[in-house]
Structure 1
């Protein structure tokens, strides 16, 4: 007789709650969210994640719906394996997706209505209210143990959250973090600089190519450029001047478990070329990818050495890893949960190539 459970014996797939909430102090604006309850605990099989909240933090462009495929893959994996899982929460920040704009912003979007620290504080208040409403009533506890799964600028928000509220974050999955200390222009060569040597350019690259690339990146990615969310990046390099510091304090006074993931160089270069930027692939490969790799190598130092994995490569994925590789994200979520609950040291060799 097979020991494998039949499909009928599997626990049901959790029904998500798709709703909105107003933060205390900002009653006129709603934040949209999707919440999955944790798996049930029994006397024989307690859920070790009953006091854990796994939170997804978006970048500037992709809303909370971009995590749906990764969440479904993760839950399917846990359910079919009869393994417990924590509560999962995705949300649209003010000005994103289905959420209202921040009522404290002055002027219509695009604007520099509020900064990253404002987003961090709003995130904290949001999580407090969600926790009280969904978990704390039946399971009294202090603030939950947080695991952040984040992309792009969401990684900066996660770092600043853990820095501002030490002891609250037990795990971080950083998916192609924004280079918080970059203006996204300076790493390209400047053809108009006095000391510029045109012979240093890669073969086939013209001065026009470089000038146009610098212009496009300045117009789209420079921190001075406002966005429809109203989330200003003008002071981000001051808030996070280094990728390797400060070192974060997780629960119990030790560093949080951390996985740092970078994009696939070839796929990212291809998307940059075929997308709206039309950046020549050789420029991305020569100037942008190496700088991003160095930034990711610094990120693994923000926790204890035995708590960090990475930087690893999301093969076949560009910057939006949750869009291009939801199965990959799901797998890394499973691995991170295993490390958090079992308090295991990382065994995977770091990919430094």
Structure 2
């Protein structure tokens, strides 16, 4: 069941969240945080979490040692209130505000949930001092713009993040529209630049659809202004991220997952924008794959995995194959556990 929490700096705006306690040593040292895209609220992670908990309940390696799990709706999403910052910034807020809120949320979850759980499990005196429960090292499992948020969080708060699982990250350094050639640009040659299944009219319609839905200036119900993300994260592969102790010098564990090209192209054709598969396969899938390759270089090579292609999955990998997401999360935990024991 969802609960609500009021962050100290925004006491009049409740956030909706769900918290699943951890078990064993990782329950107080790490916290898995699921980061939504713009469209799917926290409920979109339910199947993934069910698969993950089933792996643990069936006697997996993490059955007695796993972190707590946290899902939440950002301000303006799902069951959460609109962001009070919108009133001070012309009706919207940016990624810096989102990351600052997430930082406070993690602290409040530690104070209200993780320390409480540690108190309850302390058999000696029934209470554990707050300073005995360290600030949890965060593990982000994220989709779409959630990947951008998790990455920017790790960059903003160096040493805070133990691992990131990127599920089809948004291409943060692109306006999305300029992925496609401009039919009005000098020298545009449709015979060279258009795939066989596409016309100039298709190209114009696709660019207009991408502008309306995916351009950083496009409005969204969350009122998240994404226009400054390109300047905040201009490169896919830098700057390098700093990992949480004891791995500060080598960076966090990172697993990068990309969609299945054919599935994504089919979804684009069937969707409301009716994008020809040829346009997607020529102008969207290749730069997206290259961007994912860059994300894997945000940490040292021995701590990176991927890009992994999620076979049969479109953009919402956690919806199309929640079992895969659970497996990849568990693999990250296995490595984190090994790092802690080293």
**TM-score, length of structure 2 as denominator length:** 0.90
SS of the aligned residue for 1:205 comes to coil
Are 1:130 and 2:109 an aligned pair? yes
| Structure 1 equivalent of residue 125 of structure 2 | none
Per-residue CA distance 1:206-251 (angstroms, 9 max, x = gap): 1111111111111111111121101110101011001101100011
Alignment partners' CA distance in 2, 1:194 and 1:131: 57
Alignment partners' CA distance in 1, 2:26 and 2:144: 29
Are 1:34 and 2:18 an aligned pair? yes
| Structure 1 equivalent of residue 244 of structure 2 | 251
Gap change, CA 1:202 and 1:269, over 3 Å in 2: same
| Structure 2 equivalent of residue 118 of structure 1 | 97
Are 1:221 and 2:217 an aligned pair? no
Q: Which moved more, 1:295-304 or 1:79-88?
A: 79-88
Alignment partners' CA distance in 2, 1:56 and 1:155: 10
| Structure 2 equivalent of residue 178 of structure 1 | 170
Alignment partners' CA distance in 2, 1:112 and 1:229: 10
Per-residue CA distance 1:240-297 (angstroms, 9 max, x = gap): 0011011000113130001000000011111111111110111111110001000001
Q: CA deviation at 1:136?
A: 2.3
Bigger helix share: 2
| Structure 2 equivalent of residue 57 of structure 1 | 35
Q: How does 1:13-162 map to 2 (within 5 A)?
A: 18-39=2-23, 41=24, 47-82=25-60, 83=63, 84-106=65-87, 113-137=92-116, 138=119, 140-162=132-154
8 Å CA contact retained: 2:28, 2:136? no
The answer for unaligned runs of 5 or more in structure 2 is 120-127
SS of the aligned residue for 1:132 comes to helix
Alignment partners' CA distance in 2, 1:332 and 1:274: 29
Q: CA deviation at 1:112?
A: 5.4
Alignment partners' CA distance in 1, 2:197 and 2:102: 47
Q: CA deviation at 1:343?
A: 2.5
| Structure 1 equivalent of residue 123 of structure 2 | none
SS of the aligned residue for 2:3 comes to strand
Q: Aligned pair count?
A: 320
The answer for unaligned runs of 5 or more in structure 1 is 1-16, 42-46, 345-353
Per-residue CA distance 1:313-345 (angstroms, 9 max, x = gap): 01111001111111111111111111111129x
8 Å CA contact retained: 2:197, 2:277? no
8 Å CA contact retained: 1:112, 1:231? no
Q: Which moved more, 1:76-85 or 1:191-200?
A: 76-85
